[in-house]
Structure 1
């Protein structure tokens, strides 16, 4: 081989290696970008809140939450204060909604649709619905679900139907019946309710969980147990198994949801105040700290998911 040909081949091989290296760097960059764009957004509930909107939003932001999850106040002045606080602290908004159960069905359906239209005007990230009733017929509950789906499509804002005692979705088995027949039933999973209903941590229901998880798009993160919807302190060692049972399911849902929702998934930390929070007799003093519990469950999920 002549020196000229040798040098030419050497330069060609070097150029090919350089091109391959640049391609690998480019592909690695795309992968890193995609991974960095995956986000789990955490929302703090205002359930039982006694602070002003400004104080509440300031505290939520300082605690590491991306937004708040609330029942919208009817008072116009309070609504304006809420808007200002959301903008001031750069927080996102989830809104709560629900079926009014103690009135005639036709009136309840109308109220459900009218209020849902009003909530849509706030352009929330999502609307979480306490839908229907465990005393309504299957057909009547489907009417509420249909309204939610219709307005969700109209405004391009998700309406998720929460698994909740007292609603159509009060148990795992009952919810599966709706999933079997309903064409579209996007869920918020609050599995703490089901643990009470079934008196079980539900760790031996893999096939049922597979079906449920396929339809979950938002999580209400509260740790329940076989005899109650809320432990007194999720950090306490006696609740280690209950905490793990919840986080195991939440992790599966979030990893699936990140793929389905363009790299974004939402979680609301939803430990409640007294008397949902267990209390001492006579004094009714809470046995735990609601805010601390909500921050803890957010951080426990972040740790499991490897989120900084």
Structure 2
């Protein structure tokens, strides 16, 4: 039976509103698990940090999304080795390199694909601004050049980067997003607007954006189920980051409580999943 698993970003636990101190790793993991998340997302390329993380007893019952930031083909190897050593759920690649020539982009992606062929842990390329696949059109071109590429969809980056209208142009932008989603095997949950990558979810003026992202997330759920194995698991990570992702007021504090928003997203994603009755 296919399942949805909702994870929380450890990065998203940083500098939370009304938090008087920085909680320890163990405290954050306990809070995440007690709140009903199925696991967490974190950096997974430094052997010492990963060993410390994996020594925590609580980790054994949690799914892990590992994150890597390679800037060259061989830079992916440490993260791949660690991901396979600890058999995490999946590894997501934020390609921290920005070639000008498209042919060089393809060369790098093909190199990572060759390395990933030896991995028993799935490896996904994250859709992300400021990376090799900075722009949605670049991501689509890369899919044409390397159709075996598997994505992790974070549509918020492209929604703000391309200043999507609301609603998106049905026969252009919406279809482009769905093309990316049809190649995505995991996702990050964050609500964006045409001018900001992470907006307060419950402000009434942001309701159209929540609706649009919900439609895309549910579309991904249905599409993923049609192409996945019967016992597969779809992982969605709530990734509400601290400033400058979070919008802050004059006092430097977040306008909203990102932890409460993450809890809302967890419940909301499970509701979307329940509605399609996969």
What range is the shorter-chain TM-score in?
0.7 to 0.9
Contact preservation (8 Å) 2:45, 2:67: no
Helix, strand or coil at the partner of 1:154: coil
- In structure 2, the CA distance between the partners of 1:207 and 1:74, relative to structure 1 (3 Å rule), is closer
Report the Cα offset of residue 81 of structure 1.
4.1
For the pair 1:150 / 2:119, whether they are aligned, the reply is no
Report the Cα offset of residue 80 of structure 1.
4.2
Larger relative CO (CA 8 A, sep 6+): 1 or 2? Answer: 2
Q: Structure 2: how far apart are the matches of 1:258 and 1:188?
A: 15
Contact preservation (8 Å) 1:43, 1:68: yes
For the pair 1:280 / 2:249, whether they are aligned, the reply is yes
Match of 1:296 in 2: 264
Q: Aligned residues, how many?
A: 262
Match of 2:239 in 1: 270
Report the Cα offset of residue 194 of structure 1.
0.8
Match of 2:168 in 1: 203
Helix, strand or coil at the partner of 1:277: coil
For the pair 1:250 / 2:217, whether they are aligned, the reply is yes
- In structure 2, the CA distance between the partners of 1:110 and 1:264, relative to structure 1 (3 Å rule), is closer
Contact preservation (8 Å) 1:61, 1:89: no
Match of 1:190 in 2: 154
Report the Cα offset of residue 149 of structure 1.
2.1
Q: Deviation above 6 Å: which 4+ runs of structure 1?
A: none
For the pair 1:169 / 2:133, whether they are aligned, the reply is yes
Contact preservation (8 Å) 1:195, 1:202: no
Aligned Cα root-mean-square deviation (Å)? 2.3
Larger Rg: 1
Contact preservation (8 Å) 2:44, 2:67: yes
Match of 2:76 in 1: 112
Contact preservation (8 Å) 1:117, 1:151: no
Q: With the length of structure 2 as denominator, give the TM-score of the two structures.
A: 0.85
Match of 1:51 in 2: 23
Match of 2:101 in 1: 137
Report the Cα offset of residue 175 of structure 1.
1.2
Task: List aligned pairs for 1:9-158, cutoff 5 A.
Answer: 37-47=1-11, 49=14, 50-72=22-44, 74=46, 76=48, 78-85=49-56, 87=58, 90-100=61-71, 108-158=72-122
Helix, strand or coil at the partner of 1:279: coil
Q: With the length of structure 1 as denominator, give the TM-score of the two structures.
A: 0.77
Q: Structure 2: how far apart are the matches of 1:239 and 1:52?
A: 33
Q: Structure 1: how far apart are the matches of 2:111 and 2:81?
A: 10
Contact preservation (8 Å) 2:150, 2:185: yes
For the pair 1:214 / 2:182, whether they are aligned, the reply is yes
Helix, strand or coil at the partner of 2:33: helix
Q: Structure 2: how far apart are the matches of 1:111 and 1:248?
A: 36
Q: Name whichever structure is richer in helix by fraction.
A: 1
> Gapped runs of 5+ residues in structure 1?
1-36, 101-107
Task: List aligned pairs for 1:220-235, cutoff 5 A.
Answer: 220-231=188-199, 233-235=200-202
Q: Structure 1: how far apart are the matches of 2:180 and 2:64?
A: 25
Q: Structure 2: how far apart are the matches of 1:98 and 1:202?
A: 33
> Gapped runs of 5+ residues in structure 2?
15-21
- In structure 2, the CA distance between the partners of 1:264 and 1:73, relative to structure 1 (3 Å rule), is closer
Contact preservation (8 Å) 1:130, 1:161: yes
Report the Cα offset of residue 137 of structure 1.
2.4
Q: Which moved more, 1:199-208 or 1:246-255?
A: 199-208
